[in-house]
Structure 1
Amino acid sequence: MPTVLRKYGIRFHFYGSDMHEPPHIHAAGNGGKAKVWLEPVEMAEHQGFKSSDLKRIIEVTNDHRDEFLEAWHEFFRAIF
């Protein structure tokens, strides 16, 4: 489960088993977890986060989208 970024107490990562889904990032921390699609950036699901955390997760994802996509493609290219 590669961690791509840690910011505001939230870990942004993905799982090796995610390879059959469109590119996305998971966010965990502050008592919650979420999944955000990267193309386009859109909240897929969330649980336990405050609305202020969800807003921040979307902002961070927008700011680091290219980095997240690069890490996604690099990781899954290495698996195959």
Structure 2
Amino acid sequence: MPTVLVLLGWRLFFYANEGNEPIHIHCKSGDKECKFWIDVENFDIQEAFALNLSPRDKRQIRKIIFEHFEYIVDQWQEFQNRRYP
């Protein structure tokens, strides 16, 4: 479960055991948790699920993901290359 970023109380990370799911990022802060699919082609994200997030929390985590979009994608690719050389 490698951590990609820790920012503003949010930890953004990948799970190692999710099979062949498309690129995505998990985010957790206290009892709040969410997952976003990442659309590299269109520079977009889509919420997969969200637990205990207020509208403000959703705006904040979306902003964090977009501000670090390329970094997250690069980290995903490095993580996958280490898993499947």
Does the aligned pair in 2 maintain the 1:19–1:76 contact within 8 Å? no
Aligned pair 1:78/2:82, yes or no?
A: yes
Distance, in Å, in 2 between the alignment partners of 1:18 and 1:57 is 22
Listed as ranges, the gaps of 5+ residues in structure 2 are none
Q: Which runs of 4+ in 1 moved over 2 A?
A: none
Alpha carbons of 1:77 and 1:19: their partners in 2 closer, same or farther (altered >3 Å)? farther
Q: Which has the higher helix share?
A: 1
Q: Which has the larger radius of gyration?
A: 2
After superposition, residues 25-36 of structure 1 pair within 5 angstroms as 25-36=25-36
1:1-80 alignment, distance < 5 Å: 1-39=1-39, 40-80=44-84
Supply the RMSD in Å over aligned alpha carbons: 1.1
Task: Indicate conservation of the 8 Å contact 1:42/1:58, yes or no.
Answer: no
- Which string of whole-angstrom CA distances, capped at 9 and with x for unpartnered residues, describes residues 12-64 of structure 1? 00101134111000000132100011113121110011211111111111111
Contact 1:12 1:26 in 2 (8 A): yes
**Contact kept in structure 2, 1:43 and 1:58, CA below 8 Å:** no
Number of residue pairs aligned between Structure 1 and Structure 2: 80
